[in-house]
Structure 1
Amino acid sequence: MAPEQRIQEIFAELPVRGTLHAVDIADGREIAVGADEQVVIASIFKILLVLEFSRQVEAGQIDPTERVLVRAADRLGGWGTAGCADDIELSLRDLALFAMSVSDNTAADLLLHRVGRDTPALLAAELGLDRTRVIGGPRHLLESMFADVGARDASEFAAIFPTLTREQVSRMRVFRPEHTTSSTARDITHLLSLIWRDAAGSPAACAAARNLMRHQMFWTRIAAGFPDEVRVASKTGTLPGLHMEAGVVEYPDGARYALALFARTEDLGSRNIAVDLAMSRAARTAVDALRAEVPAPLTA
């Protein structure tokens, strides 16, 4: 059975609508399932954000030790600094770490303000990510969600959202690729390949971005499909009914594979381990297929 067909069956078992792109960074061989479909990328956009931050640091435009005060008005909810009860102060490079390690939306929003609101979109264009569109950061996304349901704040949104029908939810801009930050699985693996080949900026900037991605704490998607000796650097994205992750798996033999997976469910919950594990199985299936098809070396 072709790996693409097996991957489709993995998604169909749940069922979920899934897209995947996997590419061998060394030679460009690929496995593609809906890889050119425009999809919401949510927090995966933070890869572009920390890459731009790393580039500006290496260019001397930003001092990574610059201090930032995170106040109550800055908090957007979620993990990391967003959940702090009191004002805290930390460096820009620690904002980048929190944005990647625990997908801290507050940290990402403050970092975006410092590097420039338009720079991730400009960076995407510079790198040839023609299908990638960045519309604001975490605060913009949250505000669009509030506006679409008529909520004034997070507490009102939490009360209103469970009363919405699936059709009403689907009309929210945050779930519509044409109205929010979006890309394709192929564009995202191209971005990752550029970073891992030191072609998305200076070698030091690319190395810094790779290091930040290796700090992600969430492991139930791509990483769950691979043994401990395989290093995984990745970034999740999650919205009600949307599960996604992009990353690179690095084998001890030096082989590296870029992956981008997106799964959409009818269930609007954000905690669905079955979807996460299906994504891990799909990722492993794709990589195993690429490793099994390594071209034989040329002989004289």
Structure 2
Amino acid sequence: MATERIAEIFERAGVTGCLHVVDLDGGSGPGRPGARCEVAVRADEQVVIASIFKVLLVLEFARQVVAGQLDARERVLVTADDRLGGWGVAGCADDAEVSLRDLAYFAMSVSDNTAADLLLRRVGVDVLPMLAAELGLPRTRVVGGPRQLVETMLADVGARTEADFARIFPTLPPERVRAMRMFDPAQTTSSTAREITRLLGLIWRDEAGPPEACAMVRGWMAQQLFWTRLASGFPPGVRVSGKTGSLPGLHLEAGVAEYPDGGRYAIAVFVRAAQLATRRIDVDLAMGQAARTAVEALRGD
């Protein structure tokens, strides 16, 4: 069975994982009438989703743009006080001026936390929980944004600045790290693998808002630069659009694989490793392998 093969993949990589893969066309795609529609491994377990929440964020931004509530070309000045560290505008040494639309691009393509934080301020922090409820995602909870996460991390280790955190964090024993609020689904932004694939399905079927807004989100997800997780598992010709999430020991990704024959599969793979490293190519590749194993089971390949 596919679930057994996936369990073996996770075991070899030394991780525990949650996975949900669903055929977005209900098993009725080309050559697959009445086929199996989903593969689930602990798909209803509440888990931390970290930067996966940015899919919901840019969806709300796109909806507000289409509704005329926001101008995608509105300019935003990113200053030193805004920077949270990391990729994109987060790593700029000087002030940078970009549009709201480009903040959304950076938030999705390189998971830019500064861009996401600025976009969240403009969209409205309180709006995302309402959007999740509207879309039928009762177990998807959004607790603030990247800045609140950073502030929580600093407080949990007794650091005043990010420099202090970088000095203190590596000295902490694993049990102290695991006790931090950023790892507790009840105290931070979290969801389930099944709800995240539902969100992706709504976006890909133009049911998460106006079709133009859904198309904007699909376009940004297709531009993600990180390829070592879901995309690594699929052959050339399969288009994989995705969004990563990472915390020490947590390797997360959600996306959609689209085959040349029209088959479309929403995927969520969330794994936890015993080691607290954020960069482990073996774990990333195992996520892609697990995703492909599930998709091939649905396709009957």
Q: Output the CA distance in 2 between the equivalents of 1:55 and 1:49.
A: 10
Match for residue 188 of structure 2?
A: 180
Match for residue 242 of structure 1?
A: 250
Aligned-pair distance for 1:14?
Answer: 2.1
What SS class does the counterpart of residue 270 from structure 1 fall into? coil
What SS class does the counterpart of residue 225 from structure 2 fall into? coil
Match for residue 119 of structure 1?
A: 127
Q: Output the CA distance in 2 between the equivalents of 1:142 and 1:156.
A: 12
Match for residue 290 of structure 2?
A: 282
Within the alignment, does 1:131 sit opposite 2:139 as a pair?
Answer: yes
In structure 1, stretches of 5+ residues that fail to align are 294-300
Q: Output the CA distance in 2 between the equivalents of 1:52 and 1:286.
A: 30
Q: Output the CA distance in 1 between the equivalents of 2:51 and 2:236.
A: 25
Q: Output the CA distance in 1 between the equivalents of 2:17 and 2:51.
A: 18
Match for residue 228 of structure 1?
A: 236
Match for residue 105 of structure 2?
A: 97
Aligned-pair distance for 1:122?
Answer: 1.1
Between the aligned residues of both structures, percent identity stands at: 68
Match for residue 169 of structure 2?
A: 161
In structure 2, stretches of 5+ residues that fail to align are 28-36
Match for residue 297 of structure 1?
A: none
- Name the aligned partner's letter for residue 25 of structure 2: A
Aligned-pair distance for 1:286?
Answer: 0.3
- Name the aligned partner's letter for residue 286 of structure 2: A
1:168-189, Cα deviation, whole Å (9 max, x unpaired): 0111000110100000000000
Match for residue 61 of structure 2?
A: 53
- Name the aligned partner's letter for residue 299 of structure 2: R
Match for residue 296 of structure 1?
A: none
Within the alignment, does 1:74 sit opposite 2:82 as a pair?
Answer: yes
What SS class does the counterpart of residue 44 from structure 1 fall into? helix
Match for residue 5 of structure 1?
A: 4
1:42-79, Cα deviation, whole Å (9 max, x unpaired): 00000000000000000000000000000000000010
- Name the aligned partner's letter for residue 5 of structure 1: E
Q: Output the CA distance in 2 between the equivalents of 1:225 and 1:4.
A: 16
What SS class does the counterpart of residue 86 from structure 2 fall into? coil
Q: Output the CA distance in 1 between the equivalents of 2:3 and 2:139.
A: 22
1:214-236, Cα deviation, whole Å (9 max, x unpaired): 11000000000111210011000
Q: Output the CA distance in 2 between the equivalents of 1:131 and 1:82.
A: 30
Q: Output the CA distance in 1 between the equivalents of 2:173 and 2:13.
A: 21
Match for residue 266 of structure 2?
A: 258
Match for residue 17 of structure 1?
A: 16
Match for residue 35 of structure 1?
A: 43
Q: Output the CA distance in 2 between the equivalents of 1:232 and 1:13.
A: 24
Q: Output the CA distance in 2 between the equivalents of 1:14 and 1:186.
A: 23
Aligned-pair distance for 1:163?
Answer: 1.0
| TM-score (structure 1 length as normaliser) | 0.96
Match for residue 215 of structure 1?
A: 223
Q: Output the CA distance in 1 between the equivalents of 2:245 and 2:159.
A: 23
Q: How many residues align?
A: 292
Q: Output the CA distance in 2 between the equivalents of 1:260 and 1:245.
A: 6
| TM-score (structure 2 length as normaliser) | 0.96
Q: Output the CA distance in 2 between the equivalents of 1:145 and 1:32.
A: 32
- Name the aligned partner's letter for residue 51 of structure 1: L
Structure-to-structure mapping, 1:169-208, within 5 angstroms: 169-208=177-216
- Name the aligned partner's letter for residue 4 of structure 1: T
- Name the aligned partner's letter for residue 26 of structure 2: D
Match for residue 30 of structure 2?
A: none
What SS class does the counterpart of residue 186 from structure 2 fall into? helix
**Cα RMSD between the aligned structures?**
0.8
Aligned-pair distance for 1:118?
Answer: 1.1
Aligned-pair distance for 1:120?
Answer: 1.4
